[in-house]
């Protein structure tokens, strides 16, 4: 768990391989820790696109401020949009 249970906003960038093609993605999500964010991304991509975890390549994971987030759901949950 993150320090003091504080929820952070992460931007995760990478790609997955499906039918010999690289499909790039950039996702923003709220999580307690880097490990929790990675678990969520593997789960989401595997569920949505039927891709195995070994085919998901994470290139970059950064903590960002809620104001930098482009995802409306992340901004709303962070209290920036109504």
The answer to whether residue 35 is domain-embedded is: yes
The answer to whether residue 82 is domain-embedded is: no
CATH number at residue 59: 3.10.20.10
pTM of the model: 0.85
Whole-Å CA distances, 8 to 19, 21, 78: 34, 32, 9
Q: What count of other Cβ atoms lies within 10 Å of the Cβ of residue 24?
A: 10
Mean pLDDT in the chain? 91
For 53-68, write each residue's pLDDT tens digit: 999 999 999 999 999 9
Structurally, the chain folds into a number of domains equal to 1
- Retrieve residue 53's tokens: 């975890």
Report whether pLDDT(3) > 80. no
Boundaries of domain holding 13: 3-77
The answer to whether residue 39 is domain-embedded is: yes
């Amino acid at each position: 768990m993150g320090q003091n249970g504080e929820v952070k906003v992460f931007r995760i960038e990478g790609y997955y391989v499906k039918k010999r093609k690289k499909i790039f993605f950039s996702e923003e999500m709220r999580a307690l820790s880097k490990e929790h964010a990675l678990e969520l991304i593997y789960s989401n991509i595997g569920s949505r696109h039927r891709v195995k975890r070994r085919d998901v390549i994470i290139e970059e994971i950064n903590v960002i401020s809620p104001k930098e987030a482009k995802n409306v759901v992340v901004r709303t949950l962070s209290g920036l949009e109504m």
